[in-house]
Chains A and B, each alone.
Chain A
Amino acid sequence: MLNATVAQLARALGRREISSVELARLFLARTQALNAGLNAFITIDPDRALADARAADARIASGERGPLLGIPLAHKDIFCTRGMLTSCGSRMLSNFVSPYDAGVVERMARAGTVLLGKTNMDEFAMGSSNESSWYGPARNPWDLARVPGGSSGGSAAAVAARMVPAATGTDTGGSIRQPAALTGVCGLKPTYGTVSRYGMIAYASSLDQGGPFGKSAEDLAILMNAMAGFDTRDSTSLERPDEDYARSLDVNLAGLRIGLPEEFFGEGIEPGVRRAVDEAVRWFEKAGAKTVRVRLPNARLAVPVYYVIAPAEASSNLSRYDGVRYGHRAAEYADLADMYRRSRAEGFGREVKRRILIGTYVLSHGYYDAYYLQAQKVRRLIAQDFAEAWRHCDLILGPTSPGTAFPLGANSDDPVKMYLNDIFTIPAPLAGLPGLSIPCGFDEAGLPVGLQLMGDHFSEALLLGAGHRYQQDTDWHLRMPRETPLDTGAGK
């Protein structure tokens, strides 16, 4: 059961082979046993989980069936959950119990998922290693001395360690895809505007997008069917008919044009990653797909552009955390300005402060044109690169991350080196495009490698279809992390 996919669990629940309460207890026991070592969860809520599970069992008993009815789930701690701590990985919100549910939380609850708890993350989703969390870093189940990636590292680690069959995350510059790659699970960053941002704590509003983690592309499609959809409470939510993300799972790969951007196969990629991705390319070719060389000439500017736009938006988005109405307030202060200063100095960690300062700088009078406006122009050029590429290919393939999971602390003193971890994941959100990361092998150290598939706006079903076909012929996505074998914490 622990290693089963959402699709398999739903079938078992539907046939009454297991109850949702039994399933919740199974995953709760494992989560509670493993979390001390993995720190994947900030909050584990057995009462809530069992209440949800009982409700799901009642729905099943009354004859209702659904692909997510009774399925255990974890939300990244960036999604507001009513009555539950919603910390966003920050000391600033370490006392914030949300009075309302995020749009995604509502949707998943309606679909009948069972909420086990909230997962660890980089503070305010700023980071690629989960090390900026106020709650300490989550760890990689493949090697506890290594990071699970970030910012949605807790969700990725939780799914990889089979603490939950699925989890939610958010992706701004790679925060779903990079941790998915580093932990050997699947993660999808949908087209901007597809998943409601209502109740999803903002980091960089024009880039943030919620998405699912799961063990298979098929599971991601099932999760997306519940997660995605128009929300009037989010002005950037796209009003379009609901779609079935599982509709192309049996896509015919013959004749599919797969673009290989030379910028994604250049220097700086670890040999183990290169080898695994090349092998995946050969698999797709053998399956009948046609690979074509494409160019994304401005992609090399994506990281600097991202580190202007995202901090700019963040510096403003995080202004509301002032200690006045909720969140951390310094115990002692002389006056109003001092209260702001101390509350924010104490409430925010180093990386958050760094990005607030960068963002404040690039928006300042006299610098705005040179940085923010210029970055927006280059952002459009990057989008144009993709638009041009879609004339020659149906999807773009490459490594999700230039390397596999790195040891904790390895990049802590060099923010730029850390930022370059997202070099392949940042272009898609800048253009609002969807991106999928699926496991495609291991490096010589036995660490998982992620394969990234990107497509044009609203091409999620095609990406998931290609991933699904690949996973029907490979088993990388079913491999278990060695640090968390199935007997750990189970059977209690």
Chain B
Amino acid sequence: MTWEIVVGLETHTQLLTRSKIFSGAPNAFGAAPNAQASAVDIALPGVLPVLNRTALEYAVRFGLATGGRINQRSVFARKNYFYPDLPKGYQISQYELPVVEGGSLRIALADGEKTVRLVRAHLEEDAGKSVHELGGDSAVAAGRGMSGIDLNRAGTPLLEIVSEPDMRSAAEAVAYARALHALVVWIGICDGNMQEGSFRCDANVSVRQPGAPLGTRCEIKNLNSFRFLERAIEYEATRQIELIEDGGKVTQETRLFDAERGETRSMRSKEDAQDYRYFPDPDLLPLVIQDAEIERVRATLPELPEARCERFGRDFGLSAYDAGVLTSTRASADYFEALVASSAAEPKLCANWQMGELAGALNRDEKDFTQNPMTPEALGGLLRRIADGTLSGKLAKEVFDVLWRGEASSADEVIDKRGLKQISDTGAIEKLVDEVLAANAAQVADYLAGKEKAFNSLVGQVMKASRGKANPAQVNETLKRRLAR
């Protein structure tokens, strides 16, 4: 039997505002527990929420970037449930009327492109954190297992972005999540830091026979890495397929992904689902956004990935693939443009080095472009020396490694210190060639007898004699000239 996997994602992105969504407390990660919780965040009696307009602006920015509809009137609603890290006993969210509806996101796949439709994006506040592994003196003093509550995160602005169930594999879901991640970082509304929980996904997974109606879905909560997302979906889809093939039925439920065991586990079934008793928050008037405000936000939008990708193809003569890879993140695209400017080299050469040597080094050291130790000026200086013939490709890689290790600040410095300058002096090369020809009479004879391979061997001998510094093109040319006599 063939099965089709159907995936939709709900993504919580923490918005990069200075203060929280409904209070003036700072919105930063890593402070001492409860050091960034104001009277509003801990829900003292009598406190009231006041919307942070920057959070709204970021939501509008997202809606505009994805071609969604900005609702000029949206409504904050209360989602009521009890939990110790939810100080008010309700979360302020948006329910019936979200700030953004519709829109779409284009994603790149191994075999082409795909458009994923978006259902909505709405603003809400994050909850605090329960710390159950509270150890040390406080637990001892209490004489029993205690849980701590850290409300620093309470009130952090979130944009929840809901996709249609348009993905058909774990790989597609990851491609979507990566594209969405790149976009929210690109437009400056999220820092994208997944370790700190700035970008978290819930996956709705179901399986069906191709062409059949949608199957019963399960929701997997809180996937905070692309790898976990992929593994969780794969595991869940396999579980559902095996269940059905064994004659069972999938029941709608919420599941948790156990990263250590690589499996999903039931958290609560639909029957246990809480009644959140949503109703419009009477403390916040309906949110009205004027056209002028939308236009003002539109004017602050940076050039978006698709437009930049097209421009890279057009202006730099790059292939669609190269342009796509280079514009996969804003940091990468910015880097590329700075590299082209500082190297004065062919864009294709820049692209090859950024996507080859640089990407490899970043990958090896598990860094992304925002943590890149190699400035575009440093790499540009290196490419400049390739372009002007000072460095061979092989030498350039050596110089790159030196720069990457931080042992020098520019390619020229490395070339000078290590005497790596390519030998392009005609006299010097002729001398090397003559010495090699004299010492390898047998191979010269072979070549003259028609064995083309002997020529390559001779080139290699010359390069070796020059310790790699001879200009290979000149060596070729000189050898040919000498042997033709």
Binding site for B on A (CB under 8 A): 79-80, 86, 88, 93, 96, 98-100, 102, 197-202, 204-206, 232-236, 312-313, 315-316, 318-322, 324-326, 336, 340, 360, 363-365, 368, 372
Contacts and interface: CB of A to CB of B under 8 A. Distances in A.
A316 B89 contact: yes
B44 A336 contact: no
A100 B51 contact: no
B282 A340 contact: no
A363 B45 contact: no
Q: How large is the interface on B (under 10, 10 to 19, 20 to 34, 35 or more residues)?
A: 20 to 34
Contact of A233 (B48, B84, B87, B278): B48
B279 A363 contact: yes
B46 A319 contact: no
* From A88, A204, A232, A325, residue with most partner B Cβ within 10 Å: A325
B283 to A, nearest CB: 5
Contacts of A80: 44-46
Contact of A319 (B84, B88, B283): B88
- Of all A-B residue pairs in the complex, the 9 with the closest CB atoms, nearest first, are A319-B89, A205-B282, A363-B277, A206-B282, A199-B46, A320-B43, A201-B45, A80-B46, A365-B275
Contacts of A336: 84
A316 B80 contact: yes
Main secondary structure of the interface of A (DSSP, over half): loop
B48 A235 contact: yes
B45 A364 contact: no
A236 B279 contact: no
Given A235-B283, A364-B275, A201 B89 contact: no
Contact of B84 (A102, A200, A315, A322): A322
Contact of A199 (B47, B278, B279): B47
Interface string B134-169: 000000000000000100000000000000000000
A201 B48 contact: no
B48 A234 contact: yes
Contacts of A99: 39, 44
Contacts of B47: 198-199
Interface in B60-98: 78, 80, 82, 84, 87-90
Contacts, number: 95
A100 B277 contact: no
22 contacts: A80-B44, A93-B45, A98-B45, A98-B46, A100-B44, A197-B48, A198-B46, A233-B50, A234-B48, A235-B49, A235-B50, A235-B283, A319-B80, A319-B89, A321-B45, A325-B87, A325-B149, A336-B84, A363-B278, A364-B277, A365-B277, A372-B279
B39 A100 contact: yes
Interface of B: 39, 42-51, 78, 80, 82, 84, 87-90, 149, 275, 277-279, 282-285
A360 B80 CA distance: 10
Contacts of B80: 315-316, 319, 363
Given A80-B45, A319-B88, A363-B80, A235 B285 contact: yes
B44 A322 contact: no
B42 to A, nearest CB: 6
* From A86, A93, A322, A336, residue with most partner B Cβ within 10 Å: A322
Nearest to A234: B48
A491 B285 CA distance: 52
A320 B46 contact: no
B48 A322 contact: no
A130 B378 CA distance: 78
B283 A236 contact: yes
Contact of B277 (A200, A316, A325, A340): A316
A320 B87 contact: yes
Given A205-B282, A235-B49, A236-B283, A316 B44 contact: no
B443 to A, nearest CB: 85
A79 B48 CA distance: 13
A372 B89 CA distance: 20
A359 to B, nearest CB: 9
Nearest to B88: A320
B85 to A, nearest CB: 9
* From B46, B80, B88, B279, residue with most partner A Cβ within 10 Å: B46
A257 to B, nearest CB: 32
Nearest to A366: B275
A365 to B, nearest CB: 5
Given A313-B282, A324-B84, A102 B46 contact: yes
Nearest to B277: A363
Given A100-B39, A365-B275, 10 more contacts: A86-B45, A100-B44, A201-B45, A206-B282, A312-B279, A318-B89, A319-B80, A319-B90, A325-B42, A368-B279
Contact of A232 (B50, B275, B285): B50
A392 B48 CA distance: 38
A213 B26 CA distance: 39
Contacts of B283: 202, 205, 235-236
Contacts of B282: 204-206, 236, 313
A39 to B, nearest CB: 22
Given A236-B283, A236-B285, A326 B277 contact: no
A86 B84 CA distance: 23
Contacts of B45: 80, 86, 88, 93, 96, 98, 201-202, 320-321
B353 to A, nearest CB: 53
Contacts of A93: 45
A365 B279 CA distance: 11
Given A206-B282, A325-B87, A340-B82, A201 B46 contact: yes
A53 B373 CA distance: 66
Contacts of A319: 80, 82, 88-90
Contacts of B275: 364-365
